[in-house]
Every structure is written in C-alpha cells, then in structure tokens.
C-alpha cells in the first residue's frame, strides 16, 4: 500500500472560518489531539499575521514532539523570518511558502508577470533554505493556472530547494476528472517531480473537495491537505476524516492508506467542534450524529440482522461506540422489539403486536419517542406497575445566600419521607435530595428544558436522562414551575429503573435514541 501523508491545516485554514478564534491553550489541545490522531504534519498558523500568532506556534512546537509542524508564509523575506522565529523550538519544522500563479491572481492581486512570479518563488525558497530543510511550495489557485506555466513554476521551485510541491484547488473550481488529469500531466512533464512529495489542498465551494482530493490521490499525489470536519474559508476544506475512511474502505481502488489512528477520529471531531463553536451538521459523513443512525423500518430490520446491509463502516472504526436506532414514524416492529428487550421487558408475540399498534398511535401524535414513552406503553398495557415514588411537596429557600431544598416523596404504599438539603444550585440540591430519600444514586447524562408555548404562564417541559448499572432511563416532566417539572422528570426516570427487570441481558451492539 502506498502511504498518503496527512497534512492538517485545522489550526491555520480552519481557524480562518468566520467567527472562529482559538486561544493558545485551545490550539495546543487540538494540536496534541491531532498528534494522537496520527497526522503527519500540522500547519500551526501564519506567523507573519501577528506577534500573538508567533506565540501560538511556539507553544504548539514546544508541546508537539512527534509530528512535524509547518507554518504558512508568503513569498517575502519578512514572512520567512517570522516563520523562523515561530518554529525555532519545533522538533521537525517545515516552511510552507504560498504564491498565486493563475492569470486572474497575477493580474488583479499580484500585478506581476509570469517571470516575476517565478523569480519571487525562487527567492523565497532559496532564502528559506538558509533556515529550513523542509520547504513546501504551493501554487495558489493552481486549478485555474495554465498547465505549461505550472510545469515551469514547479520545475524552478524544485531546483530552488522545495521538498514538497502543492497544487491546490484554492477556490473549489476543479472537477475530479480535470483535477486528476492535471496531476498526471505534471508528473509526465516535470522530470524532477519524483524528487519531491506531491501534495494537494482542495476547497469545497462546489461540494467536491473530497472527490477532487481522491482524484488527485488516484493520479499519484502523495500528500493531502485538509481540516477536521472540513472547516475553513468560505465553504471549507477537504475533510481529512472523509479521505481517510475512503482510502480505508476503497483500498482496491486507491491502493493507498494513511497512518491515521481511525478510532480517534470522532473524539478529534468533537474537540474541534467544541473549541471552534462550529457544530457538525447531523448528516455529515463519518462524524455526523446521523452517520450511523437508522430510522427507516427496512433499514433497521436489515442492520439489526447484519450491520453490513446498511453500514459500510463500523461505528467503532471511527471511535463511535455503536450504531443508533431511532424510533420514529418509519420504524418497524423489529426495531421496537429490540428496544423493548433493551429496556428489560419480555413480551409475547401477541403483546408485542399490541405494543406495536400502540406505538404507532403514539408516534402519530408527537415528533419523537423517548424511553419514558416506551416504559409507559409497556407498563400501562401489560404490567400495570404502580409508580414507586411520587413528589408530594417541594420548598425552595435561600438561607445564608445558599440554595436549600426541602423535598417530600410518597412511596407506593403512601408512606411519606422528607429531607432538606443544600446544593450547588436548585437542580443539584433537588436531585441529590431525591437520591438521598430513595437510597440510590444515578448518573445524570442529559438535562434539557423546552417551553410548550410562549405565554407568561407557559408550561415548561424538562427531559432528563440518567444512567444506572450501564442502562439509561429517561423521563419527561411538565409544569408551569420548571423546578417541579425537573423533579417529575427525574422521578419518572427513576421509577423506570425500579420497574425494569434488570436480570435480562442487554444487547449493547446498538444504541437507541431517546
């Protein structure tokens, strides 16, 4: 297998996304995770842009010792000097010089002739060679540059000392057919091209960044450049995770593979999303919340029998714990049966048939079904368990400027129990008090509030999800008092725990959404 080098520019091009600003600590944290992911080179920033950027790159260079660190520079001596200062502590530094070559950039941005562009490239590379053994040279807007001029610039750049040649699709203009052909022709017409690493950097303006990148790989490119989650200028960059999984899944086609630690992909994606504030779209390939989710009854039936029927990638491969079965209006009986078993119930075929009909009635009336709905459906129709605990009184006070909650519960035999507790906020005290009264602790996994209408007396809806003994339980509580709604939701989830047969083995190969 031919190795494809992974050049990650999340911290440079990715941070250029509108509204994104990363602190030094956040950049270092992402860089360390990229090192753990196994990328070959991290582009840490553009030092000439500010003194703060030099400090950021220095911090990253000090922290990351097993991955090459690159920085961007224009074809100016001052940019090269800034890069030298920023990378002086890097274990394996790389200078990345970029200069536009397309007619439109030469005329309107640079106001330079072809010869002047070549001279500027040679000067910057030779000057950089005084300080760096590794120099990447990028022909900005290569996909809109005349082929014969590309040949000339690339040849002269290699002679000047470039070790990596990057031909980017800077504005996302290329198509896979023409882009791959450009690399084949460069290989045919530049004799010294085999002496350097050939790279590409694609943007997603027409939604073809990954396709163009893979076309370049198929045409012989050795390095691909991109970002985590595909973030970056305008419509973003090639998503590195998409290329890595395409190479992994289609080895028969590309005969190439990266060194990425694939099961670190999901964690890396979420870390970048958290720090940049850029949410991952739910249907994003590889790392979206829906990437391994199934709602269609036909799909659910197939994937429950054999995952490969509708999944070409196992979720565990990218660090996702399991596939997700979404119970919705398109779900079938097989999915509901698995969900009921997952919750600890054992129904006869007749009971399952009745439960499925009732489930369809429920789903016709609401947009989503949570565990609470399924528990109620089973308990009310077939088991008729009494509620173990109910809220009978709730008082909140703030003595000494601290939150204090008094709670009274009534058990199934109408016996009251009461406690007063202080906590770090109302909800913390409320839930700790309830756990004290029932003598059992739960792990709170999720807590969300919704309003059922917009009037002053709006009913608040609280949905909670708790975990106990590796099993999740959820509850929905509604009240004009959001604290009471929170108590009701928590108690509903707790009552589900006491109503479930915990002796039954759980099938953890799939996760069911709430």
Min mean pLDDT across 43-52, 372-381, 412-421, 503-512 is at 503-512
Q: What is the pLDDT of residues 297-344, one digit of tens each?
A: 777 778 778 888 888 898 899 998 777 767 777 788 888 888 777 776
Residue 416: which CATH number?
A: 3.30.160.270
Indicate the number of domains in the chain. Answer: 3
**Does residue 165 sit in the same domain as residue 70?**
yes
pLDDT at 423 over 90: no
Contacts of 126 (CB under 8 A, 6+ apart): 160, 161
Residue 113 lies in a domain: yes
Beta-carbon contacts of residue 490 (< 8 Å; ≥ 6 apart): 430, 431, 434, 464, 466, 475, 477
The residue among 341, 358, 383 that closes a domain is 383
Residue 73 has pLDDT above 90, yes or no: yes
How far from each other are the two terminal CA atoms of the chain, in whole angstroms? 43
Specify whether 28 is located in the same domain as 118.
yes
Domain encompassing residue 438: 389-505
pLDDT at 396 over 70: yes
6/119 same-domain check: yes
Q: What angle do the packed helices 482-499 and 371-378 form, to 10 degrees? A: 50
Residue 141 lies in a domain: yes
Kindly state whether residues 399 and 443 are assigned to the same domain.
Answer: yes
pLDDT of residue 382: 56
The confidence score (pLDDT) of residue 511 equals: 58
What does the pLDDT average to over 71-83?
Answer: 98
Nearest alpha-carbon partner for 448 in 480, 425, 482, 417: 482
Which of 249, 276, 303 represents a domain boundary (last residue)?
Answer: 276
Distance CA 509, CA 347 (A): 21
The pLDDT, as a whole number, for residue 503 is: 41
Shared domain for 309 and 350, answered yes or no, is: yes
Of 42, 53, 55, 40, whose CA–CA distance to 10 is shortest? 42
- Residue where one domain finishes, among candidates 383, 412, 444: 383
Give percent above pLDDT 70 in the chain: 91
Same structural domain, 255 and 346: no
Catalogue the E-assigned strands of 185-343. 197-201, 223-226, 256-257, 293-294, 323-325
Q: Is the domain of 24 the same as that of 54?
A: yes
Residues 344 and 445 in one domain: no
Structural domain includes residue 510: no
- Per-residue pLDDT, 384: 47
pLDDT tens for residues 437-491? 999 999 998 898 876 555 555 678 888 989 988 788 888 888 888 999 999 999 9
User: What is d(CA 386, CA 117) in angstroms, rounded to the nearest whole number?
Assistant: 81
Say how many C-beta atoms besides its own lie within 10 A of residue 114's C-beta: 15
- At 456 the pLDDT is 53
Q: How far is CA 270 from the centre of its chain?
A: 4
pLDDT at 512: 55
pLDDT for position 312: 86
Buried b (16+ CB within 10 A) or exposed e, 238-267: bbbbbbbbbbbeeeeebebebebebebbbb
- Check residues 170 and 511 and name the one with the higher pLDDT: 170
254-263, 397-406, 421-430, 458-467: the lowest-pLDDT one? 458-467
In 131-228, beta strands by DSSP E: 135-140, 164-166, 197-201, 223-226
362 and 404 belong to one structural domain = no
Q: Is residue 288 part of a domain?
A: no
pLDDT in tens, 207-261: 999 999 999 999 999 999 999 999 999 999 999 999 999 999 999 999 999 999 9
């Amino acid at each position: 297998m031919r190795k494809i080098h992974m050049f990650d520019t999340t911290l440079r091009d990715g941070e250029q996304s509108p509204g994104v600003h990363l602190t030094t600590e956040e950049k270092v944290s992402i860089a360390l995770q990229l090192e753990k992911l196994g990328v070959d080179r991290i582009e840490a920033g553009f030092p000439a842009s500010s003194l703060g950027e030099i400090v950021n790159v220095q911090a990253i260079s000090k922290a990351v010792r097993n991955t090459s660190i690159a920085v961007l520079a224009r074809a100016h001596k001052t940019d090269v000097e800034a890069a030298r200062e920023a990378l002086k502590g890097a274990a394996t530094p790389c200078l990345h010089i970029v200069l536009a070559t397309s007619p439109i950039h030469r005329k309107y941005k640079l106001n330079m002739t072809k010869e002047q562009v070549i001279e500027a490239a040679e000067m910057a590379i030779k000057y950089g060679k005084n300080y760096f053994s590794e120099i990447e040279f990028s022909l900005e807007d290569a996909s809109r540059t005349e082929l014969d001029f590309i040949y000339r610039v690339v040849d002269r750049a290699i002679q000047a000392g470039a070790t990596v040649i990057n031909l980017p699709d800077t504005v996302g203009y290329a198509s896979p057919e023409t882009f791959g052909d450009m690399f084949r022709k460069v290989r045919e017409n530049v004799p010294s091209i085999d002496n350097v690493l050939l790279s590409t950097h694609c943007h997603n303006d027409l939604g073809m960044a990954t396709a163009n990148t893979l076309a370049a790989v198929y045409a012989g490119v050795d390095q691909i450049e991109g970002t985590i989650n595909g973030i970056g200028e305008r419509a973003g960059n090639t998503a590195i995770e998409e290329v890595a999984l395409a190479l992994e899944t289609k080895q028969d086609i590309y005969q190439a593979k990266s060194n990425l630690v694939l099961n670190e992909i999901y964690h890396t994606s979420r870390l970048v999303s958290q720090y940049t504030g850029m949410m991952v779209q739910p249907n994003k390939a590889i790392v979206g919340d829906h990437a391994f989710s199934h709602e269609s009854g036909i799909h659910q039936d197939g994937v429950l029998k054999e995952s490969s029927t509708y999944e070409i990638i196992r979720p565990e491969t990218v660090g996702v714990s399991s596939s997700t079965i979404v119970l919705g209006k398109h779900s079938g009986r097989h999915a509901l049966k698995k969900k009921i078993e997952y919750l600890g119930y054992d129904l006869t075929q007749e009971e399952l048939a009745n439960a499925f009909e009732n489930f369809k009635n429920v789903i016709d009336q609401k947009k989503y079904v949570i565990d609470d709905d399924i528990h109620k459906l089973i308990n009310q129709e077939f088991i008729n368990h009494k509620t173990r605990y109910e809220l009978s009184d709730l008082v909140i006070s703030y003595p000494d400027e601290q939150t204090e909650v008094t709670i009274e519960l009534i058990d199934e035999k109408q016996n009251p129990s009461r406690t007063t507790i202080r906590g770090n906020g109302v909800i913390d005290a409320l839930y700790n008090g309830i756990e004290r009264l029932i003598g059992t602790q739960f792990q709170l996994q999720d807590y969300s509030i919704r309003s059922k209408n917009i009037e002053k007396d709006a009913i608040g809806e609280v949905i909670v999800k708790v975990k106990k003994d590796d099993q999740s339980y959820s509850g929905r509580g509604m009240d004009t008092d959001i604290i009471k709604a929170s108590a009701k939701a928590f108690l509903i989830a707790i009552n589900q725990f006491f109503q479930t047969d915990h002796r039954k083995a759980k099938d953890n190969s799939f996760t069911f959404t709430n």
